[in-house]
Amino acid sequence: MTTFWNWVLFCVLSIIWGSSFLLMKLGMVALSPYQVAALRILSGGIVLIPFAGKAYMAIPPKKRGLVLASGLLGSFFPAFLFCVAETKINSSVTGMLNSLTPLLTVVMGVVFFQIPTSKQKLIGVVIGLMGLLLLMAPNGHIVINDIPYMLLILLATLLYAINVNLVGKHMQGIASLHIASLAFVLLIVPCLVVLYATHFFSITQTPQLIQSIIAASFLGVAGTAIASVWFYILVKRAGALFASMVTYGIPFVAIIWGMVYGETISLLQLTGLSIILLGVFITNKTPKRI
């Protein structure tokens, strides 16, 4: 029964995070990408307010600045980068590119955090980057106009990767829920500033606007706040390795939603995704002991 509920959490997280790219699109029907991103982080922060006080007391004062940095790198800036990118890139492709995060985590760990790695992990990274080339050439040739927006997604995944290493190296012993709740609550003010600067509070209400606000808010509440807590529970129940396998489920959910909404997905893109996931598998595989 324990294994069953672990798989239930696994599937739910895959569905929630795999659907997030579509929710961004739905949010941008009547809102700007900046407003969608700000609403996402704001709604997540509001939901986590009840946990912030305990988190503030539990986190050492010298670590609170790192928690803010973690929130900026792991949530705030990527949210805006993803939304801007999705003004031109299909949500299914965005989900595929997001699967590069585990590979870039290895690269950032080596480059910036002096974390030792293995030949196996480096081979996995190289294989994954080969898959990236196919994703960038959906019809056998690279679409030049799409490259800047794909680079925004890659920058977001790089920030994710830096944040994972930052948390892993400097925040050992601090509960994930404490990190998430304090970080998101600290981001409430800059989100309100962005919404004010983009004249969100003076927009005329329409049915489309309400639907977009609901999509962006649900993205923050379910896709950020609740999913983060559930992911933390899954790590505790089944271990970090099993929980990290959610990476495999997310892009396929994104592809299914993309197909439902009429997005075109080429065989080369699916091949590229398969190669990337092979690289992720090799990178995360535990070497056999001799």
What pLDDT does residue 287 have?
A: 59
At residue 254, does pLDDT exceed 60?
Answer: yes
In a domain, 207, yes or no: yes
In a domain, 290, yes or no: no
In a domain, 289, yes or no: no
Contact 206, 27 (CB under 8 A): no
What pLDDT does residue 139 have?
A: 58
pLDDT in tens, 119-163: 887 888 788 878 877 776 655 556 677 789 989 999 998 998 888
At residue 37, does pLDDT exceed 60?
Answer: yes
Full residue range of the structural domain in which residue 106 is found: 2-284
Helix (H, G, I), strand (E, B), or coil: what is residue 119? helix
At residue 49, does pLDDT exceed 90?
Answer: yes
The pTM of the whole model exceeds 0.75: yes
In a domain, 69, yes or no: yes
DSSP states along 224-289: IIIHHHHHHHHHHHH-HHHHHTHHHHHHHHHHHHHHHTT----HHHHHHHHHHHHHHHHHHPPPPP
Distance of alpha carbon 171 from alpha carbon 168, whole angstroms: 6
At residue 274, does pLDDT exceed 70?
Answer: yes
What pLDDT does residue 133 have?
A: 73
How many domains does one find in the chain? Answer: 1
At residue 192, does pLDDT exceed 90?
Answer: yes
The better pLDDT of the pair 13, 110 is held by 13
At residue 12, does pLDDT exceed 80?
Answer: yes
